[in-house]
Amino acid sequence: MSNILRISLFILFAGSPTMLGYAATPDGQLQINIIDPATQTPLPVRIELTNTRGRTVRLGKSAAGALGNHFYLTGQGVLGLKRGDYLFTLDAGPEYKTQRGDFKIERHADDSKVVEMHRFTDLEKEGWYAGDFDSVRNAKDLPLMAQVEALHFVPSVAWTYDGKKWSESPRNIMLPVDEVDPQAAGRKLGAYAARVEQPGGTLLLFADEPMVEKPFEVEAGWSTEKILLAAVEADLHVVAASPVEWELPVWIATDELSTVALLTRNDYGDYRQGSDKGTRPRDTSFYPGKQGQAQWEQAVYFHLLNCGLQVTPVAGSGSGANEMPLGSNRTYVYHANAFSPEAWWRGVEQGATVVTNGPLLRPQVGGQPPGTTFSLGNGGQVDYQVGLNLASRDARVEYLEVIKNGETFAEVRLSDWVAKKGQLPPVSFDSSGWFAVRAATTEEQKYQYALNSPYYVESTEGPRVSRESVEFFLAWLDELAELPADERSASEAEIAKAREFWQQLLSEANAP
């Protein structure tokens, strides 16, 4: 079935459906009904609406969740528009096929069309629940947006610490979502997050209850490390805003940080409105172009794993701070039963995650989710067979990679993977290490990929610790120490203490 649908306009009078969006002085109204043909029920969607010159059509404050080039529809209703030709793109989250088409606004037209959105996978039925760790969106629109984007966990930023004081987000962010929409039950939505933006890096903090007040008091001159420790003391979940925050090696050395945002608000040039101040810059000769930032962040993350550290990746879009749709960068967390915040965080702590900005990747090894540690025993080689479910709504997945200890162990064309009924080549270990699966697409404008949190393999000698990777972070600390005082929050004493941690880890290195 073609995904190009033509919709004609007809003028509505009394008894029309809910008004979804309204342009100033419209010439006509478009009745649109969007359904899931499998259930024959209305399906809410995200819509991008443009004229034939490619310019975004904005419908003002009446359009739900309007941001940049998109807004949200409840599934049936009316769009008030001026006369002319229009192009549309409809999305109902990454598990439905995108629909594109056009329509014409003419007076007294008497035609209408139902748009069918076709689901091609259902991750919730498999036990995978999606979340966006970084957003700043209006609370009243969150239930609709989360439903459209198939998100269960959306903690909006309620408070931001700028190095001097806490600032509360606008009231429309702080509204209790369950008061806005009782149908939001079964999801964790609303003002549960805070950002600490200091010279030297940014931390994301998450509470189990709405942050109606600032998370805790911060005294003048506190370093980000001290704030991190205070957050842990306050029973908050702490996430590094990216793997390239300047003070990351200091935070890791506290042994209180084990979660890092891998796909972040600063990855892509077209949407880049967030600040990357406080991050270690990439070498553009090694990580060039629009894909370079995401590749650099991933390379640093692999160095963390090669140091024998079990670090869980998560992802956040920054939607609201930039114009990316909610869930553009997302985290899937596996847990066997129905969604609950407690099960969600337990899955994160166990490393049962996949991060993605496109492909829907769900691996399992021996029936176990990512984050599992396998015991290698006293020697000999063990092969681990990766089973994989994969789907992609957007650009075609070009290849699959099995990553072993930060290097490509096997690269498999998608057609070969399909021929082998979803099995990848077994990955072999005779000593400690880690492995993961990465799926990349043919998209050229950004690095579009999915990556699971690693599976770990440990022998009786303990985790694999790479000398090269530990030395990478020791050199990082040297550069951090050389930064001007106003470009970092870490004190010389904190850097020196962190250096002791990494020197000790270097003494335990058992791999190149």
Residues 4-18 have pLDDT tens digits of: 333 333 222 223 334
pLDDT of residue 370: 98
Q: Indicate if 343 and 460 belong to the same structural domain.
A: no
> For residue 163, is it within any domain?
yes
Give residue for tokens 């957007």.
Answer: 394
pLDDT of residue 313: 98
Q: Indicate if 165 and 234 belong to the same structural domain.
A: yes
> For residue 486, is it within any domain?
no
Distances (CA, A) of 370 to 137, 367, 451: 30, 10, 10
Identify whether the C-beta of residue 298 lies closer than 8 Å to the C-beta of residue 451: yes
pLDDT of residue 422: 81
Q: Indicate if 103 and 132 belong to the same structural domain.
A: no
Tokens of 475: 């050199």
Q: Indicate if 317 and 347 belong to the same structural domain.
A: yes
pLDDT of residue 293: 87
Domain boundary among 67, 100, 116: 116
For the chain, how many structural domains are there in total? 3
> For residue 308, is it within any domain?
yes
C-beta atoms surrounding 137 within 10 Å: 24
CATH of the domain at 159: 3.20.20
> For residue 473, is it within any domain?
no
Q: Indicate if 111 and 169 belong to the same structural domain.
A: no
Q: Indicate if 109 and 143 belong to the same structural domain.
A: no
pLDDT of residue 272: 38
Domain, as residue range, for 205: 122-354
Give residue for tokens 């092969």.
Answer: 383
Buried b or exposed e, range 115-125, using 16+ CB within 10 angstroms = bbbebebebee
Q: Indicate if 76 and 153 belong to the same structural domain.
A: no
> For residue 496, is it within any domain?
no
> For residue 157, is it within any domain?
yes
> For residue 37, is it within any domain?
yes
Cα 325 from Cα 6, distance rounded (Å): 25
Domain boundary among 339, 354, 369: 354
pLDDT of residue 7: 35
**Intervals of the chain under pLDDT 70:** 1-26, 60-62, 108-111, 180, 182-183, 267-277, 395
Q: Indicate if 176 and 290 belong to the same structural domain.
A: yes
pLDDT of residue 454: 98
> For residue 224, is it within any domain?
yes
Q: Indicate if 94 and 129 belong to the same structural domain.
A: no
pLDDT of residue 82: 79
CATH of the domain at 396: 2.60.40.10
CATH of the domain at 30: 2.60.40
Cα 191 from Cα 158, distance rounded (Å): 5
Q: Indicate if 183 and 310 belong to the same structural domain.
A: yes
> In residues, how long is the chain?
512
Domain boundary among 309, 338, 354: 354
Q: Indicate if 136 and 269 belong to the same structural domain.
A: yes
Task: Provide the CB-side half-sphere exposure for 429 (13 A, CA).
Answer: 23
Per-residue pLDDT tens digits for 289-336 = 888 888 999 999 999 999 999 999 999 999 999 999 999 999 999 998
pLDDT of residue 396: 84
Q: Indicate if 346 and 407 belong to the same structural domain.
A: no
